[in-house]
């Protein structure tokens, strides 16, 4: 069976698009459209691009009401909504602290005043900076999903850095797309498998795998309480319909305790959450729906 | 560097350098078993022992099997230096015609100013000697043609000094290009930038033109023949062809000190299949240095640095497995990562080094003389090398003509080997 696969760099990692059973030239056009859209989002949301909306806000919205476009406004609104939902765990102001900039503000999302009707923002704290890095890949996958559906692509898998996956329809050989979290100690084995069908998964945490299966540490999540980078020797995987939701929650829940995660997951509908950690050289898998812990 | 090839081992095993596969003339790059045997010694004379001639002399002195028995220079400072460098073991001349009468010579190395390449080369070939002539071959197309004719007529080797043809890193790049690792080639961008006036100190005013010959049109074509010809040779090698036309602009816009040749050149060469070489050179800024950037739809090479950039990152092994599964109708679990994959190089634009130079091996400048000597021992004409020397020289000459005449110059078929 023919299968189209394209991989390109975006947002500091790579994106792979796999589409089975469709004309390759058609897929190439779809892939180009997705690439252009993701590049647009990257340029718009980048913390480092001086011309991005985020840079504009960080430069001009401190103690000043700044008009912003609807798309950026809705993403910040989504971020603030999840700041509430996660009890402050998801914080686009704290994310900026990981860049280690001098004079960074320790204040969080409560210092943002957003008017969604007027589409304005004001940062009510000196040196406060927002960083939409925790939402960027999820939003990019939302946009990719829209492009794929508009192009009548019913079955596709989009992998963003192997940590954020969007699955449309199913793999032609089965009734879903099967993906698995690898064991950190024995990369030949899976510690958990997910069946994805019109759904997404996002993984956040302390390590990723090189292509040669070497393990690289990847500490990048800021604890909103201590304002420091967290390192828990742990991954959080969130499986739900929306890639944006999965992206936000995997980052936010990583900072929380097992009890807090269980509580949040039970409040939210249609969310599956797994953690995979290394404790005293033993791998532990926790399923927060069943609140099960499995050691192996 | 692990497991370096020793110089001695290299002498017997040139293929270990990876030079043999990409150029036909490298197939003759084997070595006589006993280089100290008198029958295997190649006796050479060096004509022109200025700055470049000195470099060549020092490289030749490292080579077992080549003996410098004569030196020649008509500038007293260089003449004395040649005698000193050869510790009085070589017979010294001030007139190349006298040197050519030396019956013990097998070959000459010519490193004179450009305008003297042709007539000295032809004199040497007509004297029955093999010739190694520094690049660029000559200052005019007529001279280039006359040099080739003399070599063929006398059935003697004429090798032009393009040392990149003997650089393992360049051979590796050509191999990658031939293996389509860059995909379809579309453009080469090459440049050579320096920030100095290119002048040498002159002990007395009447020697100005003799010493600073690179600045005057009577003796040279400046940046084109003295620098560009190297990259023009590489571009022809990469494309496997010589260009069909060239356009460009040249100016003296910085060093307005009485020089006659451009200090700032920009050219575009067009090749038979529509590929381009975009070349520029200047001597008033060195920030970008020198490079040959070869671009294809799948990747880019920086040939001077040995860098390779992929247009697309590699797909993850899990994605490759998925593609394979779908193609074969298999429905298996695809491994996914932890946190987001980041390039192992830490920077997505950081290149892959495609070649590691092995320590202790001869430099390309030296290697070209190993090849020259071997061709002499085997009495084998090196047409491939001559072709590179001729075509790159014609490119330099035609590029200069395009800039002088401010028009597109079509390079006729009879100026392409």
Mean pLDDT of the residues in chain A: 89
Cα A190 from Cα A57, distance rounded (Å): 43
Domain spanning B168-311+348-359+393-415: CATH 3.20.20.120: no
Q: Do A209 and B332 touch (CB under 8 A)?
A: no
The SS3 call for residue B7 is helix
Angle ∠(B307,B308,B314) on CA atoms, nearest 5:
145
Mean pLDDT of the residues in chain B: 89
Q: What is the pLDDT along chain A (296 residues), one digit of tens a residue?
A: 789 999 988 888 889 999 998 888 899 999 999 999 999 999 999 998 889 999 999 999 999 999 999 999 999 999 999 999 888 889 998 876 766 665 566 788 999 999 999 999 999 988 889 999 889 999 999 999 999 999 999 999 999 989 999 999 999 999 999 999 988 888 888 999 999 999 999 999 887 777 777 777 777 777 777 777 777 788 999 999 999 999 999 989 988 889 999 988 888 888 999 999 888 888 899 998 766 666 66
Per cent of chain B over pLDDT 90 is 75
CB-nearest to A211 from B317, B332, B338 is: B317
- Any idea which residue has 């999540």 for tokens? A221
Q: Do A178 and B348 touch (CB under 8 A)?
A: no
What are B242-299's pLDDT values in tens digits?
999 999 999 999 999 999 999 999 999 999 999 999 999 999 999 999 999 999 988 9
Rounded to an integer, what is the distance from CA B367 to the centroid of its chain? 12
What are B102-130's pLDDT values in tens digits?
999 999 999 999 999 999 999 999 999 99
The SS3 call for residue B301 is strand
Give the phi and the psi of residue A251 in degrees, each rounded to 5: -70, -45
Nearest to A237 by CA among B335, B297, B177: B335
ipTM of the complex: 0.90
Q: What is the DSSP string of B19-55?
A: -SSS-GGGGG----S-TTSGGGPEEEEEE--SHHHHH
Burial class (CB within 10 angstroms; exposed 0-12, middle 13-18, buried 19+) of B405: exposed
Give the phi and the psi of residue A42 in degrees, each rounded to 5: -60, -45
CB B19 within 8 A of CB B374: no
Pick from A20, A159, A235, A247 the residue to mutate for testing the B interface (most B CBs within 10 Å).
A159
And the tokens for B170?
Answer: 């360049």
pLDDT at B44: 97
Angle ∠(B297,B347,A41) on CA atoms, nearest 5:
75
**pLDDT at residue B41 tops 70:** yes
Handedness of CA A28, A32, A34, A38 (dihedral sign): positive
β-bridge pairing B276-282 and B185-193: parallel
What are B190-207's pLDDT values in tens digits?
999 999 999 999 999 999
CATH number, domain containing residue A114 = 1.10.3980.10
* Nearest residue of chain B to residue A2 (CA atoms): B327
CB A222 within 8 A of CB A94: yes
pLDDT at A13: 87
Q: In chain A, which residues have their Cβ closer than 8 Å to the Cβ of B297?
A: none
Angle between helices A243-254 and A258-267 (to 10 degrees): 150
- Any idea which residue has 């080369």 for tokens? B121
Q: Does B325 touch chain A (CB under 8 A)?
A: yes
Say if pTM beats, i.e. exceeds, 0.90.
no
The four Cα atoms B388, B393, B396, B400 give a dihedral, to 10 degrees, of -160
Mean pLDDT of B72-87: 96
Q: In chain B, which residues have their Cβ closer than 8 Å to the Cβ of A285?
A: none
Nearest to A208 by CA among B304, B335, B331: B335
Mean pLDDT of B398-409: 98
Mean pLDDT of B354-378: 85
CB-nearest to A211 from B316, B325, B338 is: B316
pLDDT at A281: 82
Q: Domain limits of chain B?
A: 7-163+361-381, 168-311+348-359+393-415
Q: Do B326 and A157 touch (CB under 8 A)?
A: no
* Distance to chain A for B350, nearest Cα, Å: 12
Cα B377 from Cα B395, distance rounded (Å): 31
* Nearest residue of chain A to residue B322 (CA atoms): A18
Out of B210-214, B253-257, B340-344, which region has the weakest mean confidence (pLDDT)?
B340-344
CB-nearest to A14 from B313, B317, B335 is: B313
- Domain assignment present for A88: yes
pLDDT at B347: 41
Q: In chain A, which residues have their Cβ closer than 8 Å to the Cβ of B318?
A: 159, 162, 179
Per cent of chain B over pLDDT 70 is 88
The SS3 call for residue B204 is coil
Q: Say how many C-beta atoms besides its own lie within 10 A of residue B257's C-beta.
A: 11
Rounded to an integer, what is the distance from CA B271 to the centroid of its chain? 19
* Strands (E) located in B234-338: 245-251, 264-270, 276-282, 290-296, 299-302, 307-310, 334-336
Nearest to B264 by CA among B277, B286, B247, B249: B249
* Nearest residue of chain B to residue A1 (CA atoms): B327
pLDDT at B408: 98
* Distance to chain A for B320, nearest Cα, Å: 9
pLDDT at B124: 98
Under the phi-then-psi rule, with left for phi > 0, alpha for psi from -120 to 50, and beta for the rest, what region is B3? left
CB-nearest to B338 from A5, A177, A205 is: A205
Fold for the domain defined by B7-163+361-381? Rossmann fold (3.40.50)
And the tokens for B368?
Answer: 């070209």
What are A157-201's pLDDT values in tens digits?
999 989 999 999 999 999 999 999 988 888 888 999 999 999 999
pLDDT category, B354, cuts 50, 70, 90? confident
* Distance to chain B for A19, nearest Cα, Å: 9
Q: In chain B, which residues have their Cβ closer than 8 Å to the Cβ of A178?
A: 331-334
Q: What is the DSSP letter of B154?
A: H
Cα A159 from Cα A5, distance rounded (Å): 11
**pLDDT at residue B67 tops 90:** yes
CB-nearest to B323 from A5, A190, A203 is: A5
Q: What is the DSSP letter of B225?
A: I
Count the domains in chain A: 1
Cα A44 from Cα A49, distance rounded (Å): 8
Nearest to B177 by CA among B2, B9, B21: B21
Q: Does B346 touch chain A (CB under 8 A)?
A: no
**pLDDT at residue B1 tops 50:** no
- Any idea which residue has 């394979």 for tokens? B324
- Domain assignment present for A29: no
* Nearest residue of chain A to residue B324 (CA atoms): A3
**pLDDT at residue B27 tops 90:** no
Q: Do B344 and A208 touch (CB under 8 A)?
A: no
- Domain assignment present for A214: no
Residue A57's domain comprises 53-134
A177-182 β-sheet, strand order:
A190-196, A177-182, B334-336
- Domain assignment present for A14: no
- Domain assignment present for A196: no
What are B296-332's pLDDT values in tens digits?
988 999 999 999 888 878 788 899 999 999 999 999 9
* Nearest residue of chain B to residue A15 (CA atoms): B315
């Amino acid at each position: 069976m023919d299968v189209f696969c394209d991989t390109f760099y975006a947002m500091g990692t790579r994106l792979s698009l796999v589409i089975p059973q469709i004309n390759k030239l058609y897929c190439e056009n779809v892939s180009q459209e997705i690439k252009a859209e993701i590049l647009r989002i990257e340029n718009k949301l980048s913390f480092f691009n001086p011309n991005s909306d985020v840079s504009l806000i960080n430069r001009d919205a401190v103690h000043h009401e700044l008009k912003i476009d609807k798309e950026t406004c809705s993403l910040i609104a989504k971020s603030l909504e999840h700041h509430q939902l996660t009890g402050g765990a998801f914080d686009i102001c704290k994310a900026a602290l990981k860049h280690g900039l001098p004079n960074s503000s320790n204040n969080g999302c409560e210092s943002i005043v957003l008017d969604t009707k007027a589409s304005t923002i004001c940062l009510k704290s000196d040196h406060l900076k927002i960083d939409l890095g925790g939402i960027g890949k999820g939003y990019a996958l939302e946009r990719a999903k829209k492009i794929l559906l508009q192009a009548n692509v019913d079955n596709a898998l989009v992998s963003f850095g192997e940590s954020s996956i969007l699955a449309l329809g199913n793999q032609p050989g089965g009734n879903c797309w099967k993906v698995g979290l690898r064991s950190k100690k024995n990369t030949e084995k899976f510690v958990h498998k997910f069946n994805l069908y019109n759904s997404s998964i996002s993984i956040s945490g302390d390590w990723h795998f090189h292509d040669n299966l070497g393990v690289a540490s990847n500490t990048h999540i800021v604890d909103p309480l201590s304002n420091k980078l967290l390192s828990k020797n742990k991954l959080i995987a969130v499986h739900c319909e929306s890639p944006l939701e999965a992206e936000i929650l995997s980052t936010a829940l990583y900072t929380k305790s097992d009890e807090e995660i269980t509580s949040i997951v039970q409040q939210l509908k249609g969310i599956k959450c797994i953690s995979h950690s290394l404790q005293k050289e033993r791998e532990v898998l926790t399923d927060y729906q069943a609140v099960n812990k499995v050691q192996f | 560097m692990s497991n370096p090839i020793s110089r001695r081992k290299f002498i017997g095993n040139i293929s270990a350098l990876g030079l043999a596969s990409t150029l036909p003339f490298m197939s003759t790059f084997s070595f006589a078993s006993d280089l100290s045997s008198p029958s295997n010694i190649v006796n050479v004379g060096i004509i022109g022992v200025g700055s470049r001639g000195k470099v060549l002399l020092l490289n030749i002195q490292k080579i077992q099997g080549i003996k410098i028995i004569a030196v020649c220079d008509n500038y007293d400072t260089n003449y004395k230096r040649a005698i000193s460098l050869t510790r009085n073991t070589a017979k010294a001349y001030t007139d190349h015609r006298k040197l050519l009468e030396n019956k013990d010579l097998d070959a000459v190395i010519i490193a004179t100013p450009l305008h003297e390449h042709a007539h000295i080369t032809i004199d040497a070939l007509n004297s029955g000697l093999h010739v190694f002539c520094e690049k660029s071959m000559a200052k005019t197309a007529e001279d280039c043609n006359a040099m080739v004719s003399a070599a063929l007529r006398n059935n003697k080797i004429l090798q032009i000094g393009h040392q990149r043809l003997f650089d393992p890193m360049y051979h590796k790049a050509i191999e990658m290009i031939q293996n389509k690792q860059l995909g379809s080639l579309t453009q080469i961008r090459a440049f050579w930038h320096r920030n100095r006036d290119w002048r040498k100190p002159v002990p007395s005013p009447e020697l100005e033109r003799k010493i600073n010959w690179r600045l005057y049109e009577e003796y040279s074509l400046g940046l084109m023949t003295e620098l560009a010809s190297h990259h023009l040779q590489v571009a022809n090698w990469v494309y496997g062809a010589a260009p069909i036309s060239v356009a460009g602009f040249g100016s003296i816009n910085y060093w307005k000190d009485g020089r006659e040749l451009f200090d700032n050149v920009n050219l575009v060469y067009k090749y038979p299949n529509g590929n381009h070489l975009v070349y520029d050179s200047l001597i008033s800024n060195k920030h970008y240095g020198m490079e040959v950037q070869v671009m294809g739809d799948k990747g880019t090479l920086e040939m001077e640095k040995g860098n390779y950039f992929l247009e697309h990152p590699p797909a993850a092994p899990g994605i490759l497995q998925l593609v394979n599964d779908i193609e074969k109708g298999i429905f298996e679990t695809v491994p996914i990562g932890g946190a987001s994959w980041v390039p192992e190089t830490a920077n997505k634009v950081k290149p892959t080094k495609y070649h590691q130079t092995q320590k202790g091996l001869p430099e390309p400048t030296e290697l070209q003389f190993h090849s020259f000597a071997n061709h002499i021992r085997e009495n084998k004409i090196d047409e491939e090398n001559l072709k590179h020397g001729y075509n790159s020289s014609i490119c330099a000459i035609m590029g200069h003509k395009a800039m002088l005449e401010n028009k597109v110059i079509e390079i006729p078929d009879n100026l392409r080997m």
